[in-house]
Amino acid sequence: MHFYCTLDRDNSPSPIIPETSASRYAWLENEKGNWHFLSGLFEDVRESTRRWPTKQNAFDELTKEGWIVVGSYPENRSMPQKSCGEALGYGLMWIGH
């Protein structure tokens, strides 16, 4: 059995949650100002069926559905970005209700 320490929206640690065989994973990625829900590792954001104008909107809706953030990945530092220190995407795990 694997365990994950999850991160809340402020990147502070929250309780450790055991992984179950029914765990589902997804990603929330920012592309051109919109946040896209991706269910496949190599899914193209242009094919995403769910998107939100703000990260907060995405987190609010996904949290209600039972998704939690299990990690974040930073912006690509090799490319100039307007917003420093913001995550470009988040790894999600569905834990249900």
Give yes or no for a contact between 49 and 38, defined as CB atoms under 8 angstroms apart: no
Tell me what the mean pLDDT of segment 50-67 comes to. 96
Tell me what the mean pLDDT of segment 38-65 comes to. 93
Report CA-CA distances (Å) from 48 to 35, 52, 55. 10, 11, 15
Does residue 16 carry a pLDDT above 50?
no
Tell me what the mean pLDDT of segment 56-81 comes to. 82
Does residue 22 carry a pLDDT above 80?
no
Mean residue pLDDT of the chain comes to 76
Q: Which 8-state DSSP code applies to residue 84?
A: T
Tell me what the mean pLDDT of segment 68-91 comes to. 70
Tell me what the mean pLDDT of segment 50-77 comes to. 90
Does residue 55 carry a pLDDT above 70?
yes
In 11-85, the DSSP E strands lie at 13-18, 24-31, 34-38, 51-52, 67-74
What's phi and psi for 64, nearest 5 deg? -60, -30
Rounded to two decimals, the pTM is 0.66
Q: How confident is the model at residue 82 (pLDDT cuts 50, 70, 90)?
A: low
Residue boundaries of the structural domains of the chain: 3-76+85-94
